[in-house]
Chain A
Amino acid sequence: MRTLVEDYDIVVVGAGHAGCEAALAGARLGLNTVMFTVSVDSIALMPCNPNVGGSSKGHLVRELDALGGEMGKNIDKTFIQSKMLNCSKGPAVHSLRAQADKQAYSNEMRKTLENTPNLTIKQGEVTKLLVEDGKITGVKTYSGATYNCKAVVLCTGTYLKARCIYGDVSNYTGPNGLQAANYLTDSLKELGIEMFRFKTGTPARIAGNTIDYSKMEEQFGDERVVPFSFSTNPEDVQIEQKSCWLTYTNEKTHEIIRANLDRSPLYSGMIEGTGPRYCPSIEDKVVRFADKNRHQVFIEPEGLYTNEMYIGGMSSSLPEDVQEEMYHSVPGLEHAKIVKNAYAIEYDCINPRQLYPTLEFKKIKGLFSGGQFNGSSGYEEAAAQGLIAGINAALEVKGQEQLILDRSEAYIGVLIDDLVTKENHEPYRMMTSRAEYRLLLRQDNADLRLRKKGYQAGLISEEDYQKILTKEEQIKTEISRVEHTNIGANKEVQTLLESYNSTPLKSGTTLAELIRRPELSYEAIKPLDKERPELPWDVQEQVDINIKYDGYIRRQLKQVEQFKKLEAKKIPTDLDYEKVGSLRIEARQKLEAYRPISIGQASRISGVSPADISVLLVYLSSTK
């Protein structure tokens, strides 16, 4: 039988947030790339919450943008509300979150993909990976067609053997009723890849015109919106915004849930997948936090194209009739009509410890993966991995050095290192507490941290690169000027200090010392700073933060120095651990299975002790 055969450099499987970034990166780096999706109408679909960003996830998007990814630009074009979270906290935890118009988001991304040279979009299900001598050579689709290629990036999201469940109803479909991918798992297993089964869920969507908003608190966006992308002109995002609404569950809601727990598939054992603890269903919350008599419920618009509202905080897999009763018990939702039921979804994903930090499979050269397929959760986590996997697939095809971000360089580095190094048995979500050097990994300096890396990889233009070099220089010069500008205890100074309730000066000091006072800032002391040059706002922001938190930042930089030393000590990936005498058995087995690329990574594997690390160091230096 004759079948279609085509040749590409890179095949990307999946067109969700990871797939889009991977495909764009591959094509933009000049490689002939094809992207497969079960439905071209579901490109960059947001099957769960209608927002991008949020605490620590906002960081991921900013970093991805700095590296040359698309998500930041796309949400800037399609958001309908935006908020900087944690504004009252330190700069390290400020985080952007935007409500998206889901349809617009999807359409804009599709447009971008369609207009990218070297990129082909195909509707079709990839069913088999073709591997020869431990190296990927292509894929086969359901139709029997063969696509030869040099690298594959798997971004199958929640589609592998997907099953949607509520009550005793279960459908073998992907999210939103889309077709599941039922064959690829078997092909992966045949290749010796270890699979996990994870679970997640989504709340109901309710018709907006059946909601009584007068019983809810209105939640506005920020007055002055900050764009996600470093390339977006801030003036372009000052648009009219849509509101979200806040209401609460109550004892009655909880009673309804408790009375019907036996009908929940989670408690009846019908669901076998492992669900995330950070994103519990409402029935989970009621059971696990029984002392709380109410939970917050956020009502968020799905977009401008529809009146459907997302019921944040009330995801569930209870039966349809219980859902109806439960939602109706919430103030403002008494007469609400459910458009789409809440459901839980189960899917196959991999044990990500089978990947190198480049997101390439250790066992199969040229095979990369990203997103929920790697056991993460969230659009932002997916996009970030998709970008890195896409870049590395392209770099490998080109024979260039791979891109690895470490834990001191980016949240993306933390995300990937956690996935490939730590044991994790639930969908992984980014959190700011996972980043040990978070004072350095701020959303405001993502461009300063990563533009250069994006430029080296080939996704950032010369012009943008030059811009960042100029910015760096301006910041350095201004910090040095402020540190060295003395200021006397004159009347003008004392008056200004008084107006900020700041202790008057006893003797002269520097401008920097004043900025370090919690009640003052770079902006506040402007009247005293006669020589201050005109500088862009983002340069001023960096000067302020760097001076203000100097002590804290310096301490973290010192820790990073120690950290980097261990990261720099590389371990050959073909090391025979059997030959390393004196390793404890547990450590030997773990090292054998994980194959860390550096002493640093090895030291983060649970079960590997400091003594094992010393032993490894001695062994490596004896075999040099």
Chain B
Amino acid sequence: METTIAAISTAMSASGIGIIRISGENAMDVISRIYRSKGGKKKIKEVPTHTIHYGYIYDGEELIDEVLVMIMHAPRTFTGEDTVEIDCHGGVYAMQRVLDTVLKNGAEIAEPGEFTKRAFLNGRMDLSQAEAVMDVIQAKNEYALRSSMDQLKGSVQKAIRNIREKLIYHIAYIESALDDPEHISLDGYPQELLEVVDNEQKEVKRLLKTSSDGKMIQEGIQTVILGKPNAGKSSLLNLLIGENRAIVTDIAGTTRDILEEYITLHGISLKIIDTAGIRETKDIVEKIGVDRAREMAQKADLILYVVDSSVPLDENDEEIMEMLTGKKAIILYNKTDLQPEIQPEILEEKTGHPVIPISAKEEKGITELEEQIKDMFFGGEISFNDEVYITNARHKAALEEADRSLDLVRNSIEMGMSEDFFSIDLMNAYENLGKILGESVGEDLVNEIFSKFCMGK
């Protein structure tokens, strides 16, 4: 039996509606657990296929959202499996709550590209599309893997690594004793392990709470500031931060050429990344900075291009403008306090992006910039990276599984089971925590056994 999967299938933005899709053998069970019709009488499991139903999503007794539910039985669905689509209110928060409820009630978060993969494997797509499907799967996975690590806070990574280190040590200890009972004794060990499990589980629970608060990952619209040296990028950043004293965090791993800050504008989270000034250079250190800036620009949800209006455009500006193609961007016509050498109309014409005159020095134009960002966000022009929430859901599922496994270990200890039962669930916890870091188990255990414990013969 294949698992039942779910995901948000619309963009994670402040758009009007969002769609959560559920696919798999248990899709109807999942929806029947959380759906209530207006009168409360409709049995969603019994309605005809390919019909739409108005009602509510409940998590237990708590009302989550008012929705339309589309019921589609296999095989005439995209994936070829029983499928349910929930049209809920748009907006990040609403969609996330509905998805959480779905996941809590028997669905698993879909792997990247999984809907498409299932559609193909179930014969719902033309064989000639195989190549395209494979590309999608690989690309989506790569992207997810990269963004998963990008988004995971340094402190969270460290905490997970610490837990894993403890767990693998104790698994290795137990296993060494089992493999070499005449060399290593487990007398009195269960009590010691109980303490370890308690401590590590506390950590897992703390992380779980963090993930529920959405604080495990760094979220927000990835906003990259680009510009030539001395165009006024840093002053702009300082200004934005100064006006919005909502710096969320400082980031481990920030290098000297890329500076990241978090701010909230009218309730919209921005992750602002300042980059090195872009110019032709032979200096190796500076060149690395420029390359990184280019890389950041490519990943950005929004680019703020700061232009020094007091100097003429040159080839460096041309290069930056090239980076803007296909991206959402706002041109900041800076230094309006000085004699202009370029006209704003030219910039708008050349880039096709809106131009806002500002003076970072005189703190002018900032309100207009904020308004522009707000309009773009609520107009659905710019959005969060959807993967952020999906990643968070995956992390949460893995943490929950680790938490459950540790419960089972405690249970086994308290029931007086023998030590060989402990390591099975400890390993399960270890494995799940590894998923968050994108690490598989491989030979970890055997390596730990041999490096930490002296075995016989």
- Let me know if A518 and B142 touch, CB within 8 A: no
Known: A92-B420, A313-B456, A584-B138. A55 touches B133 (CB 8 A): no
A292 to B184, CA, bound (A): 13
CB of B127 closer than 8 Å to a CB of A: yes
Instruction: Kindly list chain A residues whose C-beta atoms are within 8 Å of the C-beta of B120.
Output: 618, 621-622
Q: Which of the residues B127, B134, B417, B419 comes within 8 Å of A582, measured between beta carbons?
A: B134
Q: Which of the residues A285, A432, A622 comes within 8 Å of B179, measured between beta carbons?
A: A432
Q: How many Å from the CB of A36 to the closest CB on chain B? A: 30
Which of B111-119, B254-262, B303-311 forms contacts with chain A? B111-119
CB of A53 closer than 8 Å to a CB of B: no
- Let me know if B446 and A433 touch, CB within 8 A: yes
- Let me know if A582 and B454 touch, CB within 8 A: no
Could you mark each residue 514-550 of chain A with 1 if its beta carbon is under 8 Å from any beta carbon of chain B, else 0? 0000110000000000000000000000000000000
- Let me know if A433 and B179 touch, CB within 8 A: yes
Could you mark each residue 88-112 of chain B with 1 if its beta carbon is under 8 Å from any beta carbon of chain A, else 0? 0000000000000000000000011
A303 to B140, CA, bound (A): 64
A622 to B126, CA, bound (A): 9
Known: A296-B182, A610-B141. A580 touches B134 (CB 8 A): yes
Q: How many Å from the CB of A514 to the closest CB on chain B? A: 14
Known: A85-B181, A433-B445. A518 touches B416 (CB 8 A): yes
Could you mark each residue 415-457 of chain B with 1 if its beta carbon is under 8 Å from any beta carbon of chain A, else 0? 1111111011000000000000000001101100111001111
- Let me know if A289 and B454 touch, CB within 8 A: yes
Q: Which parts of A584-624 form the interface with B (CB within 8 Å)?
A: 584, 606, 609-612, 614-615, 617-619, 621-622
Q: Which of the residues B183, B449, B457 comes within 8 Å of A315, measured between beta carbons?
A: B457
Q: How many Å from the CB of B69 to the closest CB on chain A? A: 29
A582 to B135, CA, bound (A): 5
Known: A518-B415, A617-B117. A279 touches B178 (CB 8 A): no
A583 to B142, CA, bound (A): 12
- Let me know if B183 and A434 touch, CB within 8 A: no
A89 to B419, CA, bound (A): 7
A618 to B138, CA, bound (A): 11
Please, which residue of chain A has its CB at the minimum distance from the CB of B442? A606
Q: Which parts of A53-67 form the interface with B (CB within 8 Å)?
A: 55-56
- Let me know if B127 and A622 touch, CB within 8 A: yes
- Let me know if A88 and B455 touch, CB within 8 A: no
CB of A552 closer than 8 Å to a CB of B: yes
Q: How many Å from the CB of A478 to the closest CB on chain B? A: 23
CB of B180 closer than 8 Å to a CB of A: yes
Please, which residue of chain A has its CB at the minimum distance from the CB of B134? A582
Among A280, A432, A614, find the residue whose CB has the most chain B CB atoms closer than 10 A. Answer: A614
Please, which residue of chain A has its CB at the minimum distance from the CB of B416? A518
A432 to B449, CA, bound (A): 12
Q: Which parts of A568-585 form the interface with B (CB within 8 Å)?
A: 580-584
Q: Which of the residues B117, B180, B443 comes within 8 Å of A614, measured between beta carbons?
A: B117
- Let me know if B454 and A49 touch, CB within 8 A: no
Instruction: Kindly list chain B residues whose C-beta atoms are within 8 Å of the C-beta of A621.
Output: 120-121, 130
Instruction: Kindly list chain B residues whose C-beta atoms are within 8 Å of the C-beta of A86.
Output: 178, 181, 420
Q: How many Å from the CB of A63 to the closest CB on chain B? A: 18
Q: How many Å from the CB of B331 to the closest CB on chain A? A: 38
A85 to B183, CA, bound (A): 12
Q: How many Å from the CB of A607 to the closest CB on chain B? A: 10
Q: How many Å from the CB of A460 to the closest CB on chain B? A: 30
Known: A90-B417, A431-B175, A614-B137. A279 touches B454 (CB 8 A): no
CB of B131 closer than 8 Å to a CB of A: yes
A49 to B138, CA, bound (A): 50
Please, which residue of chain B has its CB at the minimum distance from the CB of A219? B182
CB of A326 closer than 8 Å to a CB of B: no
- Let me know if A433 and B455 touch, CB within 8 A: no
A610 to B449, CA, bound (A): 27
Could you mark each residue 391-425 of chain B with 1 if its beta carbon is under 8 Å from any beta carbon of chain A, else 0? 00000000000000000000000011111110110
A492 to B295, CA, bound (A): 78
A609 to B139, CA, bound (A): 13
Instruction: Kindly list chain A residues whose C-beta atoms are within 8 Å of the C-beta of B121.
Output: 617-618, 621
CB of A298 closer than 8 Å to a CB of B: yes
- Let me know if A618 and B130 touch, CB within 8 A: yes
CB of A263 closer than 8 Å to a CB of B: no
- Let me know if B134 and A93 touch, CB within 8 A: no
Could you mark each residue 347-371 of chain B with 1 if its beta carbon is under 8 Å from any beta carbon of chain A, else 0? 0000000000000000000000000
- Let me know if B179 and A431 touch, CB within 8 A: yes
- Let me know if B454 and A292 touch, CB within 8 A: yes
Instruction: Kindly list chain A residues whose C-beta atoms are within 8 Å of the C-beta of B455.
Output: 277-280
Could you mark each residue 309-327 of chain A with 1 if its beta carbon is under 8 Å from any beta carbon of chain B, else 0? 0001101000000000000
Instruction: Kindly list chain B residues whose C-beta atoms are within 8 Å of the C-beta of A313.
Output: 456-457
- Let me know if A296 and B127 touch, CB within 8 A: no
Known: A611-B138, A618-B117, A621-B121. A56 touches B420 (CB 8 A): no
Instruction: Kindly list chain A residues whose C-beta atoms are within 8 Å of the C-beta of B131.
Output: 581-582
- Let me know if B442 and A611 touch, CB within 8 A: no
A278 to B456, CA, bound (A): 7
A289 to B449, CA, bound (A): 13
A580 to B134, CA, bound (A): 9
Among A422, A582, A618, find the residue whose CB has the most chain B CB atoms closer than 10 A. Answer: A618
A615 to B132, CA, bound (A): 10
CB of A288 closer than 8 Å to a CB of B: yes
A398 to B180, CA, bound (A): 42
A580 to B137, CA, bound (A): 13
A288 to B454, CA, bound (A): 8
CB of A496 closer than 8 Å to a CB of B: no
Q: How many Å from the CB of A518 to the closest CB on chain B? A: 4
- Let me know if B421 and A422 touch, CB within 8 A: no
CB of A328 closer than 8 Å to a CB of B: no
A433 to B443, CA, bound (A): 11
Please, which residue of chain B has its CB at the minimum distance from the CB of A292? B454
- Let me know if A611 and B175 touch, CB within 8 A: no
- Let me know if B138 and A582 touch, CB within 8 A: yes
Q: Which of the residues B130, B142, B178 comes within 8 Å of A89, measured between beta carbons?
A: B178
- Let me know if B179 and A88 touch, CB within 8 A: no
Could you mark each residue 46-66 of chain B with 1 if its beta carbon is under 8 Å from any beta carbon of chain A, else 0? 000000000000000000000
A606 to B421, CA, bound (A): 27
Instruction: Kindly list chain B residues whose C-beta atoms are within 8 Å of the C-beta of A211.
Output: none
- Let me know if A56 and B130 touch, CB within 8 A: no
- Let me know if A611 and B137 touch, CB within 8 A: yes
Q: How many Å from the CB of B31 to the closest CB on chain A? A: 24
Instruction: Kindly list chain B residues whose C-beta atoms are within 8 Å of the C-beta of A295.
Output: 454
Q: How many Å from the CB of B102 to the closest CB on chain A? A: 22
Q: How many Å from the CB of A310 to the closest CB on chain B? A: 10
A583 to B442, CA, bound (A): 21
Q: How many Å from the CB of B409 to the closest CB on chain A? A: 12
Q: Which parts of A275-314 form the interface with B (CB within 8 Å)?
A: 277-280, 285, 288-289, 292, 295-296, 298, 312-313
A55 to B181, CA, bound (A): 8
Q: How many Å from the CB of A105 to the closest CB on chain B? A: 19
Among B181, B423, B442, B457, find the residue whose CB has the most chain A CB atoms closer than 10 A. Answer: B457
CB of A145 closer than 8 Å to a CB of B: no
A279 to B111, CA, bound (A): 42
- Let me know if A619 and B134 touch, CB within 8 A: yes
- Let me know if A618 and B134 touch, CB within 8 A: yes
A353 to B420, CA, bound (A): 31
**Given contact pairs A85-B182, A86-B181, A289-B454, a sample of 9 additional A-B residue pairs in the complex whose CB atoms are under 8 Å apart:** A93-B420, A315-B457, A433-B449, A518-B417, A552-B421, A609-B141, A611-B140, A618-B133, A622-B130
Q: What are 14 residue pairs bridging A and B, where the CB atoms are less than 8 Å apart in the complex?
A: A89-B178, A92-B420, A93-B420, A279-B457, A312-B456, A312-B457, A432-B175, A433-B423, A581-B135, A611-B141, A614-B137, A617-B121, A618-B117, A619-B134
List chain A positions with a Cβ less than 8 A from chain B.
Answer: 49, 55-56, 85-86, 88-90, 92-93, 277-280, 285, 288-289, 292, 295-296, 298, 312-313, 315, 422, 431-434, 438-439, 518-519, 552, 580-584, 606, 609-612, 614-615, 617-619, 621-622
Across chains A and B, which 7 residue pairs bring their CB atoms closest together, nearest first? A611-B141, A622-B130, A277-B450, A582-B134, A433-B175, A582-B138, A89-B418
